[in-house]
């Protein structure tokens, strides 16, 4: 049961709590850095998942899933991956695990010229020289994102309602991006 703030009575709840961490919680409990009572409440079923670099056989299936389910929101159609691109993914170390793989594929989808992602479209940390500023990478991604938004707006007659789902964004988020990137939609929309 939970009692919402300001409520006069408790409400029954039925839920499952799923937690994930990249830390050794037992070690943290032993050092006093994590509450022991909380650990025993959440450590009912522990499923250890090795890092992606130790299970490269999962990369093709994960890549297919990401390209089919996650990435098409930004393009409208799922891209394909060249054999050289897959070899590059299989050789990578993936310190950021699946999240890093998803980010690399999302970035490659935005930057790819055609419907096929090639190895040159996939940027991994070991491919790029160290940068003195972290904003340099962000600027490149934001430039590509801005260009993609403009491209979709132009091809859909500046109709934000039609473009937002293609980008996998709520309209409110797209409007915030339009403001951030200085893209004016008013007066540009052409009726069909």
pLDDT for residue 168: 79
pTM score: 0.54
Place of tokens 């994930």: 20
Instruction: List beta partners, residue 149.
Output: none
CA distance 134 to 155: 32
| pLDDT: which is higher, 123 or 189 | 123
| pLDDT: which is higher, 35 or 69 | 35
CB 82 within 8 A of CB 117: yes
Instruction: Inform me whether the pLDDT recorded for 102 exceeds 90.
Output: yes
Structure tokens at 166: 């293609």
- Domains of the chain in start order, with CATH, are 1-48 (no CATH), 52-128 (1.10.8.60), 133-192 (1.10.10)
Query: Taking residues 53-59, what's their average pLDDT?
Result: 92
Instruction: Inform me whether the pLDDT recorded for 136 exceeds 70.
Output: no
CB 146 within 8 A of CB 135: no
Instruction: Inform me whether the pLDDT recorded for 164 exceeds 60.
Output: yes
Average pLDDT, the chain: 85
Where do the H-state alpha helices sit in the chain?
25-31, 36-42, 59-65, 72-75, 83-91, 97-111, 135-155, 160-167, 171-180
């Amino acid at each position: 049961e939970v009692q919402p703030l300001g409520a006069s009575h408790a409400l029954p709840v039925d839920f499952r709590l799923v937690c994930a961490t990249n830390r050794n919680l037992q070690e943290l409990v032993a050092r006093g850095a994590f509450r022991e009572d909380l650990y025993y409440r959440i450590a009912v079923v522990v499923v250890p998942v090795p890092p992606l670099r130790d299970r490269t056989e999962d990369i093709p299936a994960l890549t297919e899933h990401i390209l089919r389910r996650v990435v098409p929101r930004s393009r409208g159609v799922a891209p394909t991956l060249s054999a050289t691109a897959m070899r590059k993914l299989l050789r990578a170390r993936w310190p950021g695990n699946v999240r890093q793989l998803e980010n690399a594929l999302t970035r490659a989808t935005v930057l790819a010229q055609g419907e096929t992602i090639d190895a040159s479209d996939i940027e991994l940390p070991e491919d790029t020289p160290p940068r003195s500023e972290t904003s340099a990478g962000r600027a490149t991604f934001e430039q590509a994102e801005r260009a993609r938004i403009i491209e979709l707006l132009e091809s859909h007659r500046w109709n934000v309602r039609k473009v937002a789902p293609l980008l996998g964004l709520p309209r409110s988020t797209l409007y915030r991006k339009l403001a951030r990137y200085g893209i004016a939609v008013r007066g540009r929309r052409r009726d069909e």
